[in-house]
A and B are shown apart, each in its own frame.
Chain A
C-alpha cells in the first residue's frame, strides 16, 4: 500500500529564512507527486505537481520541489519565506498504475513564520 511521510510536523521560521519540508513516499511503482497548501480557514490549494520530466518543479509563490527517485523523496523548498506563508503544507502521491486520481496524503506540516 502507498504511504506518505512528512518528517516535520511543526516548523517555526523567521521571515527571510529558507524553508525545506521533507516528504518521502512508499510505493514501488511510478507516481505523480503533489504539494498542497492550506491557509488558515481556507481550502487546499495546489502549490506544485510532478508528473514526469525535469525533477525540479517550480510552483506558485516562489515554491519549488525536487523529485529524487532513488530516495523516494519530493522535498518542498523556498529560499526566503514570508509571514503570509504561514499555513499547513501537505505532500500527496497518486499511483499511475490505477485509473484513478485518488491522492494519498502525508500528515501535514504546520509552518509558522514569525514577522
Chain B
C-alpha cells in the first residue's frame, strides 16, 4: 500500500501570501489528485492528474510534481481558500489518501 504523507499538517496564511502544500508518497506514483474540503461540507475534486484544475477552480491554484513528491500551490491566498486539502493517489491499488493539510487564514 502506498502511504501519502502531507506537510505541514496545519498552517496559517495571510491574504495575498503564497502557499505551498506538499504530499510525499512512499513509492513512486504516476500522478496525484487533490481535494478541498471546507468545514462541514463534502470534499471536492480540486486538482486532478497532478496539474489539471477541476471545473470552477480559480487559476491562482496550481499543482506539480512527479515520482514521490507532489505539491499544490496557491499563488495568492484568499479568504475562501481556508480549508483542508487532501492528496490522493490513483496509480496503485488500493487507492489511498494523505492525512490532509488544514489551511487557515491568518
Are A and B physically bound partners?
no
